[in-house]
Amino acid sequence: MIDQILTASVFAAALRLATPYMFASIGEMFGQRSGVLNLGVDGIMLMGAFFAHYVALSTGSAVLGVGAALVVGAVMGLAMAFISVTLKAEQGISGIGVYLFGLGMSELLFQRLVGTPRSVEGFTDIYIPGLSDIQFLGIGEIFFRHNILVYVAFLLVPISAYVISRTPFGLMIRAVGQNPQAADAMGISVARVRYMTVILGSMLAGLAGASLSVALLKVFQQNLTSGLGFIAVALVYFGRWRPVGILIGALLFSFVNALQLQVSAIGLDIPAEFAVMAPYVITIIALVFASRQTEKPDALTKPFERGE
């Protein structure tokens, strides 16, 4: 029974499902570590997904599509940063505004420019020579037969961990998020750092959208993300603002999701509603425990006022 449930394809599915969360959550982590909560992630993902798909459809190049998603993510990040950093608007509300804008605009553009769901060639799976053939424990199938964006998403974990904890830029981000007054006194431009992190995070959210529309699904439809961006924000809390924690959260959530699909597919007599609820229940339980040992940035959601 267990070997029917815990197949290599279930683990491989978990890695695929985790990919958009990895991009979006790590991007959101950069913003939150600097003190900016961006609840517009889902809307930015939708815009990234649409533009990646539209450009890939128009040009036949998924790479150009990814480029478009990064650009549109940067533009939306700039808008979010202007609203929350320069105008000092309430971050939760402005994030919801960005989400609704992305939801509506991506739908409008899709209706006007594409009209009906159409698939694109997108990124195909890359079998890593030598490694993809490893049969032992299904390692080859689990880790080495994915499209390029899956590999990039997981490479992002050590890269972002290094940037946050070992570079001057990471130090500035942490300083601005923990104590912006002190950072300002040391000559760090709080606004500039926050602009950079929000734009970077939004570019990664755009990339998360692209990972759906030109890599994993290869199709676009209205509200394609179905609220996935909000789970990504929760995973930042789950991961306690650390890339490795986010990785664990994304994998856990995705693994339970993949598992419930497998349980359902092989016809085990478990009510579908319970199986579908499981990933969310586990996330909520984990969030409760995470909140007890929180390493939440002190200045999160607080606009910076010099001289406070």
Binding residues for other proteins, per CB under 8 A? 7, 9-10, 13, 16-17, 20, 107, 111, 115-119, 212, 216-219, 221-226, 228, 257-258, 261-262, 264-267, 272-273, 276
Residue 146 pairs in a beta bridge with 126
CB of 222 to other proteins, least distance (A): 5
For residue 109, count CB atoms less than 10 angstroms from its CB and return exposed for 0-12, middle for 13-18, buried for 19 or more.
Answer: middle
- Give the nearer residue to other proteins in terms of CB position, either 75 or 219: 219
Q: How far is the CB of 201 from other proteins (least distance, A)?
A: 21
Q: Provide the Cα torsion 5, 7, 9, 10; round to 10°.
A: 40
- Reference 204, options 97, 69, 102; nearest CA is 69
C-beta contacts of 285-292 below 8 A and 24+ residues apart: 286/238, 286/249, 286/252, 287/234, 287/237, 287/238, 290/237, 290/238, 290/239, 290/240, 291/237
Smallest distance, Å, CB 96 to other proteins? Answer: 14
Choose between 46 and 200: whose C-beta lies nearer to other proteins: 46
Amino acid at 304: F
Q: How far apart are CA 40 and CA 77, in angstroms?
A: 9
- If you search the block for the tokens 């290599």, which residue do you land on? 8
Pick the closer one to other proteins by CB: 197 or 262: 262
Look up residue 243 and give its two tokens: 């890339």
Give whichever of 161 and 282 is closer to other proteins, judged by the CB atom.
282
Closer by beta carbon to other proteins, 46 or else 198 = 46
| Residue 273 C-beta: closest distance to other proteins, Å | 6
Least distance between other proteins and beta carbon 206 (Å): 16
Kindly state the smallest distance separating residue 136's Cβ from other proteins, in Å.
19
Name the residue type at position 44: I
CB-nearer residue toward other proteins: 118 or 306: 118
